[in-house]
Amino acid sequence: MKDIILATHGNLAFEFKKTAELIVGHIDNIQCFGMTKDKSAVEGQKELENLIKNTDEDNLIILTDLYGGSSNNICTELLLKGHHFQLLSGLNLPLLLTFLTIDSANMTSKELVKQLREAGVAGIIDVSEKIERGVASDD
């Protein structure tokens, strides 16, 4: 089983987990980290390292909300210091739900990240444009 850490600004990670649990039920393999204005980068890094300690890094994927944001930067620093989890930025609900529903038992973490990335991008739909074209459902 792959483990996941959601690392975001504020309480967004915790809310993503709560929202996903509304849809799929209780989730055991997700930990959450929230970077707040009251938390220094050093404190944030220590907190993330403690979360990572509880995982098998070969099967860990960290999802962040914003490339270049504080959570993503801390995770990038951890990779540069020798950690070896997979890091993917751009967390959205379709991406997270794919992680929770896909059969990833025979996938490497890199293969799973590729699938998650595709699901995240596919979840972005210009509904206004679809309506303008007169398309009510998927093309």
Indicate whether 32 belongs to any domain.
yes
- Which structural domain, as residue segments, surrounds residue 75? 3-133
CA nearest 19: which of 29, 27, 10?
A: 27
pLDDT in tens, 4-53: 999 999 999 999 999 999 999 999 999 999 999 999 999 999 999 999 99
How many domains is the chain built from?
1
Indicate whether 116 belongs to any domain.
yes
- Count the helices and strands in the chain (H runs, E runs): 6, 4
CATH code where residue 127 lies:
3.40.50.510
pLDDT in tens, 59-99: 999 999 999 999 999 999 999 999 999 999 999 999 999 99
Integer Cα distance of 90 and 72 in angstroms: 10
Indicate whether 12 belongs to any domain.
yes
Q: Look up the pTM and report it.
A: 0.91
Integer Cα distance of 91 and 96 in angstroms: 7
DSSP 58: G
Indicate whether 139 belongs to any domain.
no
Indicate whether 10 belongs to any domain.
yes
